[in-house]
Amino acid sequence: MELCFLFLPTILLLSLLYSTILFFKRSAPPRATELKVLKGYPVIGNLPHFIKNGRRLLEWTTDLIARSPTGTVTVAPFVFTADPANVEHVVRTNFQNYPKGDDILSTFHDFLGRGIFNSNGEEWLLQRKTASFEFNTKSLRAFVLDKVRHEAVHRLIPLLKRAGRSGEVLDLQDVLERFAFDNICSLVFGEDPKCLSRESEEGEKFYHAFHEATELTIERAKQPFSLIWKIGRWLHLESERRLRESMETIHGLVEKYVRSRRKRSREGGRSDFLSRFMADGAHSEEFIRDILISFVLAGRDTTPTALTWFFWILSSKPEVAQKIREGIKSIRSRHGNYDSEVLTLEQLREMGYLHAAVSESLRLYPPVPLLPRESKGEDELPDGTRVGKGWTVMYSPYAMGRAEGIWGQDCGEFRPERWMEDGVFQPASPFRYTVFHAGPRMCLGKEMAYIQMKAVAASILEGFEVEVVEKRGKHHLSMTMRMEGGLPVRIKERNA
């Protein structure tokens, strides 16, 4: 009954749209050199385009951008772009005009509260300054690697060895997500949920609640109108009930960690984010809770997604995997630490080719492939595109990574060498390579993410052969661009 009531207006609207589309005949689609504005229908504008392509938004927008001579397409009230000059204008030059939209903020509020990823203005700036100070300390980088090393040596590598000996098929995406969740919770709360080893009932509960809250919030965001999920929440429909229950679990555990840390605050000497944010006593429990949930989300989703695509690509590029192994061997020989299972921070920084290979994988498969910003007032982008007040400008790291004008004719190829010059890694402008965003909202955890990805990739590649046993390559858009169906692999231990 509830579902019928909820979707009756939508069904009536779709019927009207279908009748209107049949009435107004459309001309043939424009040629590639003509597509700058996608024409809408009389009265109902571009709504049919969004309804038709709502479940394949990434493919649709990438195709539109590729067909545009400027790399920008207007589908009012949206502008999709892969033009670096437009990106720079939106995220830096005219930053104040392009905050996160109110609809997005309200959609994610139950999950992220007013955390750093779901706030604007002074509220965002305060969290950004607080977090920026902590992310730029040497002690944090050492702490990050220490946690990665512990999790890799004591859980990940033994798990892979057991799988190699038994011949079982592992879902590498699931393994990497559990590894990342353990790691980020240790970094954020100083608490280890032990999800990779599945040793803690409370940790499993936290892990599944976080996953469900993520998926249900994204389902909200996919609705054509925010009013739909708001009515669903008012009616206590199943999806909204499950989201509420998941958030009760998450808030309960996070608040438990906060209270526990307050009692032990006099001990000092702890390096996790919770201890750092509580050190000066200036922040409320709600402030701390929301910003820490945002950090867990970033660490849980982005690095395992990136590594899943990385190992999928390497399964068809054995020469790249071999070159990475040769680099590891050379560095170990130079430093003489053959016994350590995880490379040191200095050694990881010397691994330029591995850094290039990871960056190349991120170029083609960015964890966050589309980024929206809402225009507070009328504006004009550098390429002349007009932006109306209240319109959404969405730039696409996914489309930019495949843009011939940015990366050359071989833009569709996986070629780590494009990042190397005389054996040294050469970074790209963040307005061309938008994987870590750019401007004032640029990802604070970029270096931390590279440390984790390189440490995990080096550990696995040095010790194991990874064989993908089922065809994969399709994506599933959740909070990040996960691999649909996971990544089933067989592991074979390599000789030392």
Q: Which residues are annotated as a binding site?
A: 443
Supply the DSSP string of 5-19, one letter for each residue.
HHHHHHHHHHHHHHH
Amino acid at the residue 149? R
Supply the DSSP string of 139-172, one letter for each residue.
HHHHHHHHHHHHHIIIIIHHHHHHHHHHT--EEH
Give the C-alpha separation, 326 to 338, whole Å: 14
Picking from 414, 449, 411, 383, the residue whose alpha carbon sits closest to that of residue 321 is: 414
Residue 473 three-state SS: coil
Which two tokens mark 108?
Answer: 């994610």
407 C-beta neighbours (distance < 10 Å), count: 21
Asked if 217 and 111 count as a contact pair (C-beta separation under 8 A), the reply is: yes
Which two tokens mark 121?
Answer: 């203005």
Give the C-alpha separation, 45 to 119, whole Å: 30
Length reported for the chain = 496
Asked if 182 and 194 count as a contact pair (C-beta separation under 8 A), the reply is: yes
Say if strands 170-171 and 78-81 run parallel, antiparallel, or are unpaired.
unpaired
Give the C-alpha separation, 333 to 424, whole Å: 19
Q: Which residues are annotated as a binding site for heme?
A: 443
Give the C-alpha separation, 161 to 164, whole Å: 5
Asked if 441 and 92 count as a contact pair (C-beta separation under 8 A), the reply is: no
Give the C-alpha separation, 433 to 88, whole Å: 11
Give the C-alpha separation, 127 to 350, whole Å: 32
Give the C-alpha separation, 407 to 415, whole Å: 11
Picking from 309, 255, 260, the residue whose alpha carbon sits closest to that of residue 286 is: 255
Backbone angles phi, psi at 78, to 5 degrees: -120, 150
Give the C-alpha separation, 331 to 144, whole Å: 21
Give the C-alpha separation, 409 to 402, whole Å: 10
CA distances for 481 relative to 83, 105, 463, 467, angstroms: 21, 20, 27, 22
Picking from 177, 175, 149, 144, the residue whose alpha carbon sits closest to that of residue 161 is: 175
